[in-house]
Structure 1
Amino acid sequence: MTGHDEGDRLARAALTRIAEPGDELVGGWLRTYGAREVVDALTGEGAPLDGASERRWSGLRIRARRAEEGQPEADLERVRAVGGRFLCPGDAEWPAQLDDLADARPFGIWVRGEPSLRFWALRSVAVVGSRACTDYGAHVAAVLGSGLAGRGWTVVSGGAYGIDGAAHRGALAGGGPTACVLACGVDVAYPPGHGALIRRIGEEGLLLAELPPGDHPTRSRFVLRNRVIAALTRGTVVVEAALRSGALVTARSARRMGRLVMGTPGPVTSSLSAGVHGLLREEESFVVTDAPEVIELVGDMGELAPARASPPARVRPPGAGRPVADRLRAARGPAP
């Protein structure tokens, strides 16, 4: 971090407890008034800020009063205790691509892990997909994760069961960088079954969250988290996804921000590939089958996938080019 105004940092830390991630109304206030002024308004006795209904303002004020009682300082100390930090827009480590979210930009990012988020995010790819994935999907995600990380690309995902976990494990196995964007605090291992994986990412990679330490996920927070994954990376690869899937939300969010959208095809009989196939039928979506193909799309000029050799030609049996009816008559011999 840099010499960022510490009063502003405290106010932004407080806002991560006061408002939900991606709240565009509060984001607009931040842009217009600044973080300290917004928190002062929420904890004072003045009139509501522009655009807030009486009910909405009342709810925010209740949460602001709870957050005001020493909570920002405690949250900052809590994240430091686990080797983390709280980044704000304007910090040297802040990834500028998050600014593409406009008023839905995070108030700040809680980070756990030693590497520079800004540096890692410069060459990063999201690998996302179904939680209830097939063995095929898990294999593809792991191979993609390993191939990307092994070539110096940061693999970004959400730490969930299924494709997310496979991509993270592949990156770790490949000895390269991986970052996990959580829908809870960076000190909360969720889902519980991925506790060991998330702890390892915190030790070897980066854990990121919009929510303060100790906060737990909700259904809406998983959806809101996806926009950060999309904004942070150069492109999003969907490995497996049903027709209604959070992974497709991530991909379409990426497309709206001008990022590349990619998908790996699967069996046409699999419902878990139906969403990917539908995505690939849309404009500006690309089929990829391995890490070099992904890098060719998202990478710098000259990072091309290697030329592929054609599969060996199969020996054709005599008469294979003749119509089936002719071959059957020849096999039966002359008519009696």
Structure 2
Amino acid sequence: MVEPGDPAALEAFDGLSALEVWELLQTGTPRVERWAARLASTNPERDLERAQAVGGRFVIPGDDEWPEQIEVLAHAGQQARRGGVPFGIWVRGEANLRQALAKSVAVVGSRACSSYGEHAAAELAAGLADNEVTVVSGGAYGIDAAAHRGALAAAGLTIAVLACGVDVSYPKRNTALFDRIAAEGLIVSELPPGCSPTKLRFLARNRLIAAGTLGTLVVEAAVRSGALNSAGWAEQCGRAVLAVPGPITSRMSEGAHLLVRERNALLVTSIADILEAISPLGTALTSYPHAPDEPTDGFDLEVRRTLDAVPVLRPVPTLRIAVTAGLDAETVKECLETLADADLVEQLPAGWRLSPTHRRALGGT
């Protein structure tokens, strides 16, 4: 009877249990008139039967698989006129919802994504699945679908949180994907079976995606998008906010770049970055990327200057190398001996040149 996250309902029913709310709605008192229009068409028994027909169930607080972390929504405020903890969650699939969400990351983004964004979402989702992290998304076209498919391809667990009933395939072209998610993962919704999506229901759905996971990863998003709404909920719930960088020429990456530049999101380029962000402080730490070690890294400046002055193929005498390097002949002679011991140069009757091993390492003949 009540729309998910309805702020008017949150105020009117503050402090009441679900059963007390149901009884109040049936009294017809003036302060609940706005919801009375749905009373005649509300049939809880029918909803349960429809859910069971597709392998679904209704999970409420206190149940074994109720994910307690979503109760942070009681203190997370509102966004886009939505908020609050759901009275219950419809779940379709065999997995335990609480256990599936215990180590999970939301992967969200634009429906009209680029091939780059689609590839990044699928690869990162597959990598998360390989690390036994549940991938949560919204089942939409674009980034959402790519994330679900990436997790499934890696034989991982994925959850689709819908803005419609768990028995409704929206968008319709993702029906096969939803069937596979229901068979291998979970389909979740705050709305009863048979309900169709609306704009406000999508916005209400986003708060569950953010609150139920350890972090929200935005792969691609426009400046005004549902993905940024999910990121906002993650911020308000105290969850990690992550963003994948994209081309500076791409409108679909503007939202991700905005999150990094102005909202302190963590820039993500690898699975290691995500795992560090969602792990307890001080664990799963990643190191900064660095270039491969070079053979000359341990040498002092004079040795490196000498090596730079040695020709690749045509040998030259020591004095010629000293002039090129700007060093005295005695110093260059010692440096050449050091380089020869490291198999970086070789001495021929006509003088010195780079060794065959070093030439091959440099891509020469």
TM-score > 0.5 by shorter chain: yes
Q: Which moved more, 1:302-311 or 1:257-266?
A: 302-311
**1:1-336 counterparts in 2 under 5 A?**
18-48=1-31, 57-67=32-42, 71-102=43-74, 104-300=84-280, 301-305=282-286, 308-310=289-291
Q: What SS does the corresponding residue of 1:155 show, helix, strand or coil?
A: strand
Question: Given the superposition, is the C-alpha separation of residues 312 and 139 from structure 1 closer, same or farther in structure 2, using an over 3 Å criterion?
Answer: farther
C-alpha deviations, 1:153-204, integer Å up to 9, x for none? 0000000000000000000011111100001000111101111001100000
Q: Which has the higher contact order (CA 8 A, sep 6+)?
A: 1
Q: TM-score, normalised by structure 2?
A: 0.75
C-alpha deviations, 1:68-103, integer Å up to 9, x for none? xxx101111211122111011121211011101116
Question: Given the superposition, is the C-alpha separation of residues 82 and 306 from structure 1 closer, same or farther in structure 2, using an over 3 Å criterion?
Answer: farther
CA apart distance, 1:306: 6.3
Identity %: 51
CA contact (8 A) 2:28 2:36 kept: no
RMSD: 1.9
Uncovered stretches (5+) of structure 1, i.e. residues with no partner? 1-17, 49-56, 320-336
Q: Distance in 2 between matches of 1:189 and 1:46?
A: 37
Q: What SS does the corresponding residue of 2:111 show, helix, strand or coil?
A: coil
Q: Which moved more, 1:154-163 or 1:285-294?
A: 285-294
Uncovered stretches (5+) of structure 2, i.e. residues with no partner? 75-82, 295-307, 310-365
CA contact (8 A) 1:149 1:171 kept: yes
C-alpha deviations, 1:280-305, integer Å up to 9, x for none? 01243100012121011102353234
Counterpart amino acid of residue 208 in structure 1 = V
C-alpha deviations, 1:225-269, integer Å up to 9, x for none? 111101111101100111111101100110011111010100001
Q: Distance in 1 between matches of 2:28 and 2:249?
A: 61
Counterpart amino acid of residue 66 in structure 1 = S
CA apart distance, 1:66: 2.2
Counterpart amino acid of residue 58 in structure 2 = F
Q: How many positions carry a matched residue from both structures?
A: 287
Question: Given the superposition, is the C-alpha separation of residues 89 and 29 from structure 1 closer, same or farther in structure 2, using an over 3 Å criterion?
Answer: farther
Q: Distance in 2 between matches of 1:45 and 1:163?
A: 44
Q: TM-score, normalised by structure 1?
A: 0.81
Q: Which moved more, 1:100-109 or 1:221-230?
A: 100-109
